[in-house]
Amino acid sequence: MTIATAPEAIRASGLRVTESRSAVYAALRARPHASADEVYAAVAERMPQTSRQSVYNALNDFADAGLARRIEPAGRPMLFELRVGDNHHHLVCTACGRVEDVDCAVGHTPCLHPSDDHGFEVASAEVTYWGRCAACAASAARAAS
């Protein structure tokens, strides 16, 4: 599988390629599940003249164009990722905030079938598994002993 360059991917999604959009795309590729502030910090390291607003705008443009996905774990800053269109789910560590991708466990979008859909035509589903990551669980166990 070949990976498109940032300008190729941006162009393919129908957006105009700009320097800041390319930098935002590259930063997001290097940091899946980054918050807008984390993306801004990464972009500003290489392009100090970039404004926070232009990074936020680029992220929202990506999300609206289907190039990036917004994930919104309750009580956390919104996160962005480039892995779109596969309805995957997330594990979120309640201690350190680490986020991992989880593929659907049993094939095709099993979570599209709620036990009662109340007459809705369900188009998508998002599942967030909350817990402690292995590192946090281990350090909690060390602290307890």
- Tell me how far, at minimum, the Cβ of 85 lies from Zn ion, in Å: 11
Strand extents, DSSP E, the chain = 34-35, 69-71, 79-81, 89-93, 99-102, 128-131
Decide whether 52 or 132 has the Cβ nearer to Zn ion. 132
- Tell me how far, at minimum, the Cβ of 98 lies from Zn ion, in Å: 5
Contacts of residues 102-105 at CB distance under 8 Å and 24 or more positions apart, as own/partner, are: 102/127, 102/129
The residue written with tokens 């859909």 in the block is 117
Decide whether 48 or 85 has the Cβ nearer to Zn ion. 85
Decide whether 37 or 101 has the Cβ nearer to Zn ion. 101
- Tell me how far, at minimum, the Cβ of 132 lies from Zn ion, in Å: 6
Where residue 90 falls (left for φ over 0; alpha for ψ -120 to 50; beta otherwise) is beta
Q: Which residues bind to Zn ion, rule: CB under 5 A?
A: 81, 93, 95-96, 98, 101, 133, 136
Decide whether 36 or 133 has the Cβ nearer to Zn ion. 133
* Structure token pair of residue 15: 């957006």
Residue 45 and residue 64 in contact, taking contact as beta carbons nearer than 8 Å: no
- Tell me how far, at minimum, the Cβ of 41 lies from Zn ion, in Å: 20
